[in-house]
Amino acid sequence: MPNNQNQKPKSKFTKFFLVSLSATILLILVFVFGYALGDFSLAKKVGLFEKGGQLLNAEKLPDYLKNDVNFDQFWQVWRYLKDNYVKTNITDTQLFYGALSGLVGALNDPYSVFFDPEISRKFNQELAGSFEGVGAEIGLREGRLTVIAPLAGTPADKAGLKAGDLIVEIDGKDTSGIALDYAVSLIRGEKGTKVALTVYRNGDDEPRKLEIIRDKIEIDSVRFSRKDKTGKSEGDEGFVLKEGNIAYVELLYFNENTLADWNQTVQNILAINPSGIILDLRNNPGGFLGTAIEVAGEWVNGKTVVAEQLRSGEKIEHKANRQARFVAIPTVVLVNKGSASGSEIVAGALQDYKAATIVGETTFGKGSVQDLKEFSDGSSVKLTIAEWLTPNGKNINEQGIKPDIEVKMTKEDYDADKDPQLDKALEILRAK
């Protein structure tokens, strides 16, 4: 925060800062006292089985948030907790990090998160492509802890966790109102340990309990396979394409390893001179922006892939700097509600430039920009600083990318090992 000694005490910025801090007081209490015990009632706690009324005047601030606040109150609450809480083992460090978490949480933005030093370390491990846990990307949607995407081949995937599942309990703890970073810390853990997730899936009558054994998660971000007319297969085994020299690329993540794997995959694809390409971005939760832009550049070199709209209204355009080696190859991109962030940027750019046909379901709608600020104690803040716009100006955030051709995957399709979205992609490419 800038240090401006000439700033008036009651400036707009100071009011916002103090109001935000005052809002953390309740969160500190939550942090210290934990979750209230009670009988589990899914209908009451997450409102899944009944349709409630609409929230009116959500944008209107309560009168108490318009008042000036006295920062002394923060220390009064701090001292009250220290002097009166029933347990005596609560440290100043716990209260301090709880307060910082509440400060960021007061923004009411599911993608702006405070990481204490331990969670910050684990977060950086994930971006590096290796960590221990269950292998699922989670986020908050409408205040509910939601699976964005299970990573392929991970314990979460093998246990049956699906994109869109609501996690209503973690090891018996109710997740109503839970902070995202705290939820992540509960789900992650050492290899070989167990975590029980109670999840609700759209269409289920009751929640289901999944017991998952944590493991070391190594993220292979790119998979490539093809089957030509002779029946010869290349690339990963276990995925069979029908006749036709069509390259199938499954892009699982945009992490540190993705670009090197992608460059090799591009060479493999060009070597077979394919008649078409299927780029599968289903359940791809995103990752590094630069990697997503480079991938899109194989189809849209030199053009704007995505625009970053700042709080000031200024737009920063991000262009690809690739050779666009796939520009002349008919392409279908597969997406679903587990496609988020970087995968939405790629799909949105290829859709706007008509470089590919988008098939599947509307994507997750995670179209915001996070800056990661690290601090000297090892903690960090992941803060939303902008929103993504497609080249044609469509806002990705909360809206997602709507496919050109909508094809849903039903529970019956999953159970019967059918893939109507892939079938549609093959149908489109065979017709070209």
The residues annotated as belonging to the active site are: 341, 352, 366
Give the C-alpha separation, 424 to 32, whole Å: 52
Q: At what angle do helices 342-352 and 289-296 cross, to 10 degrees?
A: 30
Give the containing element (helix H, strand E) for 275.
none
Best CA proximity match to 251, nearest among 218, 222, 224: 222
Give the C-alpha separation, 124 to 136, whole Å: 15
- Mapped onto helix, strand or coil, the DSSP state of residue 373 is strand
Token pair belonging to 368: 């915001």
Give the containing element (helix H, strand E) for 62.
none
Bridge partners of residue 62, in order along the sequence = none
Query: Nearest 5°: phi and psi at 170?
Result: -125, 115
Q: What sign does the dihedral 407-412-414-420 (CA atoms) show?
A: negative
Bridge partners of residue 216, in order along the sequence = 132
Measure the N-to-C terminal CA separation of the chain; round to a whole number of Å. Answer: 56
Q: Which residues contact 46 (CB under 8 A, 6 or more apart)?
A: 144, 166, 168, 176, 200
Contact, 335 vs 401, CB < 8 A? yes
Bridge partners of residue 406, in order along the sequence = 360
Give the C-alpha separation, 351 to 372, whole Å: 29
Contact, 373 vs 100, CB < 8 A? no
Give the C-alpha separation, 414 to 409, whole Å: 7
Residue 275 CB neighbour total at 10 angstroms: 15
